[in-house]
Amino acid sequence: MHALELNNVTSGYNGQAVLHDISFKLKEPSIYVVLGPNGAGKTTLFRTIAGILEPFSGKVLFDDQNITTSDKTRKKISYLSQFNAMPEEMTVYNALKFYSDIEGGSPDKAIDLLDLGQLKNKRFSDLSQGQKKRAAIAKVFLCERDLYLLDEPTANLDPAVSKEIRDIILKLSKDKMILYSSHNLYEATDIGTYLILIKNGSVTLVDKISNIKPKQYRVGIKTSTDISTMVDAHREGEYFVLNVSSPEEAGLALKKLVENGVLVTEMRQLDNPLQELFETPNVNVEKTQKETQQVAK
Amino acid sequence: MPSSAVIFAKRSLSLSKIQFAMGIVIASAGIVLFNAGNHLTLNGHALVNGQLALLSVSLMAEGILLSSIPLILLYVYDKNNGVLEYLLSLGWNQYDIFKRYLEAALFLALTIFIYELAANVAVNVVIGTSVTLILSLVVSAVTAALGFSVVSFVTVAMVDFSSLLKQRVGGNSPLAYTLGAPIIALTFLLAFIFPFFTGVLIELLIAGVVGALSIVLLILSSRLIRREKMLP
Per-residue pLDDT tens digits for B4-39: 889 899 999 988 889 899 999 999 999 988 887 766
Q: Give A288's pLDDT tier (boundaries 50, 70, 90).
A: very low
**A85 in reach of chain B (CB within 8 A):** yes
**Domain span at residue B66?**
4-230
| Residue B167: pLDDT over 60 | no
Our count of domains for chain B comes to 1
| Residue A58: pLDDT over 80 | yes
pTM of the model: 0.82
| Residue B207: pLDDT over 50 | yes
Q: Which among A166, A14, A149, A163 has a CA at the least distance from the CA of A85? A: A149
- Under 8 Å between Cβ of A107 and A97: yes
Give the residue-averaged pLDDT of A29-48.
92
- Under 8 Å between Cβ of B81 and B126: no
- pLDDT computed for residue B174 by the predictor: 60
User: Considering only A127-136, A266-275, A279-288, which range has the smallest mean pLDDT?
Assistant: A279-288
- pLDDT computed for residue A279 by the predictor: 67
Which chain B residue's Cα is nearest to A101? B4
Q: Which among B172, B74, B151 has a CA at the least distance from the CA of B108? A: B151
Q: How far apart are CA A206 and CA B10, in angstroms?
A: 47
Fill in the amino acid letter for A284: N
Q: Which among A79, A52, A44, A51 has a CA at the least distance from the CA of A66? A: A51
The C-alpha angle B216, B218, B221, rounded to 5 degrees, equals 110
Q: What is the pLDDT of residues A204-255, one digit of tens each?
A: 888 888 887 777 788 889 999 999 888 988 998 889 998 888 878 888 899 9
- Under 8 Å between Cβ of A246 and A217: yes
Q: How far is B20 from chain A (nearest CA, A)?
A: 17
Q: At what angle do helices B130-160 and B196-224 cross, to 10 degrees?
A: 30
Please indicate whether, in this complex, the C-beta atoms of B83 and A86 are within 8 angstroms of each other. yes
Q: How far apart are CA B30 and CA B10, in angstroms?
A: 25
- pLDDT computed for residue A287 by the predictor: 41
Of chain B, the percentage scoring pLDDT greater than 70 comes to 85
Q: Judge residue A261's burial from the number of C-beta atoms within 10 Å of its C-beta, 0-12 exposed, 13-18 middle, 19 or more buried.
A: exposed
Lateral strand order in the sheet of A147-151:
A77-80, A147-151, A177-182, A30-35, A194-199, A202-208
Give the residue-averaged pLDDT of A2-11.
94
Give backbone dihedrals phi and psi of A173, rounded to 5 degrees, phi first.
-70, -10
SS3 for B41? Answer: strand
- pLDDT computed for residue B73 by the predictor: 84
Q: What is the pLDDT of residues B70-110, one digit of tens each?
A: 888 888 889 888 999 999 999 888 888 888 888 999 999 99
**A17 in reach of chain B (CB within 8 A):** no
A169 versus A184: which is more confidently predicted?
A169
Chain A (54-73) residues lying within 8 Å, Cβ to Cβ, of chain B:
54, 71
**A83 in reach of chain B (CB within 8 A):** yes
User: Considering only A93-102, B110-119, B214-223, which range has the smallest mean pLDDT?
Assistant: B214-223
Query: In Å, how far from its chain's centre is CA B9?
Result: 14
Task: For residue B222, count other CB atoms closer than 10 A to its CB.
Answer: 13
Q: How far apart are CA B216 and CA A58, in angstroms?
A: 32
Q: How far apart are CA A36 and CA A29, in angstroms?
A: 22
Q: How far apart are CA B121 and CA B126, in angstroms?
A: 8
Q: How far apart are CA B184 and CA A126, in angstroms?
A: 39
A245 versus A41: which is more confidently predicted?
A41
Q: Give A292's pLDDT tier (boundaries 50, 70, 90).
A: very low
Q: What is the pLDDT of residues A30-39, one digit of tens each?
A: 999 998 888 8
- pLDDT computed for residue B40 by the predictor: 60
Q: Give B150's pLDDT tier (boundaries 50, 70, 90).
A: very high
A78 versus B52: which is more confidently predicted?
A78
**B170 in reach of chain A (CB within 8 A):** no
Please indicate whether, in this complex, the C-beta atoms of B231 and A71 are within 8 angstroms of each other. no
> Chain A to chain B, count of Cβ pairs less than 8 Å apart?
66
| Residue A181: pLDDT over 70 | yes
Q: Which among A217, A221, A224 has a CA at the least distance from the CA of A246? A: A217
Q: How far apart are CA A40 and CA A199, in angstroms?
A: 5
Fill in the amino acid letter for A85: A
Give the residue-averaged pLDDT of B186-208.
91
B44 versus A292: which is more confidently predicted?
B44
Q: Judge residue A286's burial from the number of C-beta atoms within 10 Å of its C-beta, 0-12 exposed, 13-18 middle, 19 or more buried.
A: exposed
Q: Give A86's pLDDT tier (boundaries 50, 70, 90).
A: very high
- pLDDT computed for residue A70 by the predictor: 85
Q: What is the pLDDT of residues B128-137, one digit of tens each?
A: 665 677 888 8
Q: How far is A280 from chain B (nearest CA, A)?
A: 31
User: Considering only A124-133, A213-222, B141-150, which range has the smallest mean pLDDT?
Assistant: A213-222
**A15 in reach of chain B (CB within 8 A):** no
Q: Could you tell me the CA-to-CA distances from A295 to A79, A257, B62 in Å, in that order?
A: 23, 40, 63
